[in-house]
Amino acid sequence: MVQVKQIAGIAAGFIALAVWLVGPLAGKPAAGSPSAGQGQGPTVTGNPPPTAEQIRALTKRAIESQHRDDQAFLQYARTEHSVTHKGENGQGVTDIIERRVPSPAGDLKIKIEENGAAVSPEQYREELEFAVHALENAGHPDERYREAVEKYDKRLHDRAELVDTAARAFRITWAGRESRADSTAAHTERTLAKFFLDPNPEFKPVNRFDTFFQHVHATIWVDEEQAQFARMEADIATDVTFGGGVAGKVYRGGRIVMEQSEVAPGIWLPTLFSYDVDGRKFLFAFGVHERAEISDYRRVGSAAQVLELLRDELNTLSAAKPAR
């Protein structure tokens, strides 16, 4: 069955989902499409819609852009502020700010703040030491570390496949152009092309992740000049069952929102991610509702370069620590 974090992974694949624009161009939203009022900015008038050929060309460029962005993401450190509500009634709340640094086996997390309070210098140093140790292992991997790298590589491969699969899983409806500001407020408003996505009845899923696409209606906004995905809003329109409904179910009504912004010339990476999902795992209900804001992107390069940066920081902390 798909676990809650796997659902989040599918949502992350939705950033990749931005490879939408393959499929017939329709004139009106299909039944069940998100209404034009959801997440809508000022409509830009006087701009002619793209032709089918222009959409195909934009599709090709956008797919290439998304794959390039995904590869660039692996060399960027960043700060992530996430607020999570857990439980069927959303009563359990965690509010965490942490640094994320890349490694060959996946992100390393260094907590900065939890529930409004900064972590202690001792805890921060311990987490920094753990990250350094993990990156040292990358240079001399044991069997366990090699397995972790293989697992992470598979996740990246699966994500890349989601990008290409999404291109076949949906039918696209042109919805006009809108003027929108991105979530970082780092740029002035952009004029973005807007499309509705509805499940393609001719699409045949080959795995459980592909099946998820059949239950989703979405709206996407695209920067046409750079051929980059800017925003996505997706609604789970029908229940998603696993194991015939025995293993679990994700209830309809769930919602996923993601944004990307330009963090370096030609590189667009996630800056906002939220999802609200409720369901049942076997006999037990679950509900996970999370919003993450991602900022302070910094290109750090290879694992060896990241290790050098973190070692320098650790040495600086050691030098500044007062003698007892």
- Where do the domains of the chain lie? 4-76+120-320
What is the predicted pLDDT for the residue at 87? Answer: 60
pLDDT top residue among 34 and 108:
108
Tokens of 143: 């069997």
Range with the lowest mean pLDDT among 28-32, 49-53, 191-195, 248-252? 28-32
What is the predicted pLDDT for the residue at 184? Answer: 55
Residue type, 290: E
What is the predicted pLDDT for the residue at 213? Answer: 85
Question: pLDDT, tens digit, for every residue of 71-119?
Answer: 999 999 999 999 998 765 556 789 999 999 999 999 999 999 999 999 9
Angle at alpha carbon of residue 165, lines to 160 and 170, rounded to 5° = 135
What is the predicted pLDDT for the residue at 85? Answer: 86
pLDDT top residue among 28 and 135:
135
What is the predicted pLDDT for the residue at 54? Answer: 83
In the block, which residue shows the tokens 């397995």?
147
Beta bridge partners of 270: 260
pLDDT top residue among 324 and 111:
111
**CA distances for 202 relative to 63, 66, 168, 171, angstroms:** 21, 25, 9, 10
